[in-house]
Amino acid sequence: MWLRQCISSLEAARNGIDCEIVVVDNASADKSVEMMQSKFPGVRLIENEKNEGIARALNQAITSSSGEYVFLVSPDTIVSKDTLTKVVDFMDSHTDAAGTSVRMVTPQGHFIRSSKYGLTKKWNLLLKWAGLSKYFAKSRITSSNHSQPDEFETAEIDVLNRSSMLLRRSALNKVGLFDERFVMFGYDVDLSFRLKVEGFKNYYFHKTYVINFNIKPVQKYTFSYLKYYYGAMLAFISKYLFEAPKLTLGAPVKTLYTPQYEIEQ
């Protein structure tokens, strides 16, 4: 049901834009494949025999497409009719932008603050402890003021939201794709960070919106959650404190991650 609504909304949002839709099925057991084949035969469908993790699935979608921009959206999301047109226009006019997140609201119309501020308190504490908070100056890591964010203000941000982001392919060509060591969490933080270090900017765009239903919230304190959530934190710290050369904003970061896929030009 949710995937069907998501694809339908994307098709309605094309508005004359030359684009393609790619769906990666991560070994689902809810007849999503049958629904896609029946209802959307023109959509490119990638069927994985096992759950490959979110980061790898996103990489599969990116490498199988060829557009100037890549719009990544979770299946429990409905895109408004003007979203694609407005975010593409925004990116066209902001050539320094690697990507942009889109204002997300709940089905009741309430603002989802993670669409603008993507770091949780645990990530904030980790980055402060590791001495990396200076690279996330727009995430309020060091500020005690946690008042309601400005929903209706387009602004530069640190971390692009994983549920709805538009990425510039030429920027991905420079920094690589999602690091697949971050299976369920942290892949958005890692990619956003590499884009910033390379000298690009990440944005939050408020002049359109998507509705996110969050139909499968992660069950905290399960073994899987602890393994992948805290594992992502450890992988991030290991990567940038021990594996990577000294970080400098604007410096090349190709040595920080070798993509497992070639990106189609």
Q: What is the pLDDT of residues 205-220, one digit of tens each?
A: 999 999 999 866 666 7
Are 160 and 202 spatial neighbours (Cβ–Cβ below 8 Å)? yes
Q: Which two tokens stand for residue 108?
A: 């009741």
- Reference 23, options 11, 12, 158, 184; nearest CA is 11
> Is the Cβ–Cβ distance between 78 and 200 less than 8 Å?
no
Provide the residue type at 159 as one letter: V
* Domains of the chain by residue range: 70-253
Note the pLDDT of residue 252: 46
209 and 151 in contact (C-beta within 8 Å)? no
Identify the CA nearest to 58 among candidates 99, 29, 17. 99
pLDDT tens for the chain, 265 residues: list them. 789 999 999 999 998 899 999 999 999 988 899 999 999 999 999 999 999 899 999 999 999 999 999 999 999 999 999 999 999 999 999 999 999 999 999 999 999 998 998 788 889 889 888 888 888 888 766 555 544 458 999 999 999 999 999 999 999 999 999 999 998 899 999 999 999 989 999 999 999 999 999 866 666 778 888 888 899 999 999 888 877 655 555 554 444 443 443 333 3
What is the structure's pLDDT at 244? 60
pTM (2 decimals)? 0.88
Give the separation between CA 72 and CA 81, rounded to whole angstroms.
Answer: 16
Name the CATH topology of 70-253: Spore Coat Polysaccharide Biosynthesis Protein SpsA; Chain A (3.90.550)
pLDDT of residue 142: 53
